[in-house]
């Protein structure tokens, strides 16, 4: 294998890992802003999305160049294809962070809802899923990738618990029209945040599936 090609593969991996770090930080900042009602931090997440989009374009261009000029085979080919799909998932994860941040801005401008324990647990499990997915890619570790799919059911459960608690809250909300409308809107935005987190868990699972594809050539999604 040519030394130049090896360097380009390493460059591709490092760029994906850089994008992964930024996407995870965006999600962490968005959820921190939500939990701590930090409007300034939420706005920072929205403003920082462009850098992640630029990295996705860089990964696509690098991958296409390598496919065209090097004509890779076997695992090298799977690695390049897997990187392009992982970068797409990371861009979508960063978008979910932006979605959370945008809803958080409104929530920060209004009185807080009571704490929702299931939401805090959802945030923790989704961050752990994303951390494991990134580590699995960095180490090419299929065992860690397998662990993530088992955690996805837990994320789904917490998402459902958030939904149930907020539906119950809206059902017993004050009959006064203006306040009831505000309570309903805050509840719906919080439900949307939980759905953004649930989708992020799905995307972390997709990344894990790409690690399995890169290392072993298995396509879990179709099994």
pTM above 0.85, yes or no: yes
pLDDT digit string, tens, across residues 151-209: 999 999 999 999 999 999 888 766 666 677 888 899 999 999 999 999 999 999 999 99
pLDDT tens across 23-62, in order? 999 999 999 999 999 999 999 999 988 899 999 999 999 9
- The alpha carbon of 214 is separated from its chain's Cα centroid by a whole number of angstroms, namely 20
CA distance 191 to 167: 9
DSSP 179-212: HHHHHHHHHHHHHHHHHHHHHHHHHHHHHHHHHH
Strand, coil or helix: 130: helix
Distance between CA 210 and CA 203 in Å, rounded?
11
Quote the CA–CA distance of 56 and 94 in Å, as a whole number: 11
Q: Domains (ranges, CATH) in the chain?
A: 3-222 (1.20.58.220)
């Amino acid at each position: 294998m040519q030394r130049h090609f090896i360097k380009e593969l390493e460059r591709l991996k490092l760029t994906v890992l850089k994008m992964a770090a930024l996407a995870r930080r965006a999600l962490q900042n968005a959820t921190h802003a939500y939990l701590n009602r930090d409007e300034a931090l939420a706005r920072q997440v929205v403003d920082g999305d462009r850098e992640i989009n630029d990295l996705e374009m860089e990964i696509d261009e690098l991958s296409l160049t390598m496919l065209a000029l090097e004509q890779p085979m076997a695992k090298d080919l799977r690695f390049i294809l897997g990187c392009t799909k992982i970068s797409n998932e990371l861009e979508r994860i960063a978008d979910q962070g932006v979605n959370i941040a945008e809803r958080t801005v409104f929530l920060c401008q209004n009185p807080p809802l009571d704490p929702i324990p299931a939401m805090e647990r959802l945030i923790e499990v989704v961050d752990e899923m994303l951390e494991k997915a990134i580590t699995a890619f960095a180490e090419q570790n299929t065992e860690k990738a397998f662990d993530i799919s088992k955690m996805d059911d837990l994320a789904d459960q917490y998402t459902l618990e958030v939904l149930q608690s907020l539906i119950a809250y809206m059902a017993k909300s004050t009959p006064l029209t203006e306040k009831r409308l505000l309570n309903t809107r805050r509840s719906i935005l919080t439900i949307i945040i939980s759905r953004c987190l649930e989708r992020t868990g799905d995307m972390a699972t997709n990344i894990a599936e790409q690690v399995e594809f890169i290392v072993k050539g298995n396509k879990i999604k179709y099994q």
